[in-house]
Amino acid sequence: MEGERVKLLVDKNVIAKSEMKLSTSKVREADARVADARAGEAAARLSLSYTLVRAPFDGVIDRIPLKMGSVVEEGTLLTTVSDLSSVFAYFDVAEGSYMNYTKARREHPDQHSDLVRLTLANGELYPQAGRIETAESEFNPNTGSIALRARFANPDRLLRHGASGKIRLTNELPSALLLPQKAVFEIQDQNYVYVVDPSGTVHTRSFTPQTRLGDFYVVKEGLKPGERVVYEGAPELHDKQKIKAKTVLLDTAAVAAQ
């Protein structure tokens, strides 16, 4: 009796261990099905994401030539996106102006910087100042100018790619005698103007320009402040001809030249 009772107890332990192994196996099988279902869900989400078009950055899109329901193939260009948070302005500067600009920056770093201003196509001054970031390594042998690039902040997205305007480089001069280019004529690579004396007689006078600012020359030597020069009609005149001059103020000439 004692031997049979011990044998019975051993059999019950074996049954309990078998049931435990079976339960553990079912749990593992269930976990595997859950993991497989989650992998299927992730694959479905990935496939769904391919139907959504996302831009890599915020910006303004161009026109969309395709309509809803159009069949597209891999590599089809749907549209383009432009980042307008800042805009580059590319412009050319004459060699002489560039040399004067860099010289002024080198000699007076506290008064000159890389900031430039932009005049829009409608004549208005863009409120944000730009900053020169890069310049080409050489001058263009055909035009005698060098290309520069300035960055302008564009918070209101007013500036767009392909727009035009005028860049203003700031170059401060302690004193300058300005002469409209319209009043200047050349003879054998020399610059001349007609100076009008008090009696109304014109006299040919050569002068040496220091630099050119917009539609004006900065006179280095040859002319003095207060002297009157012929602004219009110089090609029709000759030396020591007497004319009836009408005074035009420099401010008026500057407005007319713009």
**How do the domains of the chain map onto residue ranges?**
84-169, 178-257
pLDDT of residue 119: 92
- Rounded to whole angstroms, what are the CA distances from 71 to 8, 46, 52, 67, 246? 75, 20, 15, 9, 73
Q: Which residue stretches of the chain have pLDDT < 70?
A: 1-22, 110-112, 171-173, 214, 250-258
pLDDT of residue 150: 94
- For residues 167 and 130, what is the distance between their CA atoms, to the nearest angstrom? 9
The domain defined by 178-257 folds into: 2.40.420
For β-strands 216-221 and 202-213, DSSP reports them as antiparallel
- Give the start-end residues of each E strand in 18-153: 60-61, 81-82, 86-94, 115-120, 130-135, 145-153
pLDDT of residue 162: 87
Q: What SS3 state is found at 145?
A: strand
Q: What SS3 state is found at 250?
A: helix
pLDDT of residue 154: 93
pLDDT of residue 17: 62
CATH 2.40.30.170 fits 84-169, yes or no: yes
pLDDT of residue 67: 85
Which string of b and e fits 16-39 if b means at least 16 CB within 10 Å? Answer: eeeeeeeeeeeeeeeeeeeeeeee
DSSP state of 186: E
- Rounded to whole angstroms, what are the CA distances from 79 to 55, 62, 64, 195? 10, 6, 6, 62
Give the residue among 158, 67, 173, 83 at the shortest CA–CA distance from 121. Answer: 158
Give the residue among 153, 22, 145, 55 at the shortest CA–CA distance from 91. Answer: 145
Q: Which helix (H) or strand (E) holds 83?
A: none
Using an 8 Å Cβ cutoff, are 150 and 116 in contact? yes
- Give the start-end residues of each E strand in 31-114: 60-61, 81-82, 86-94
pLDDT of residue 226: 86
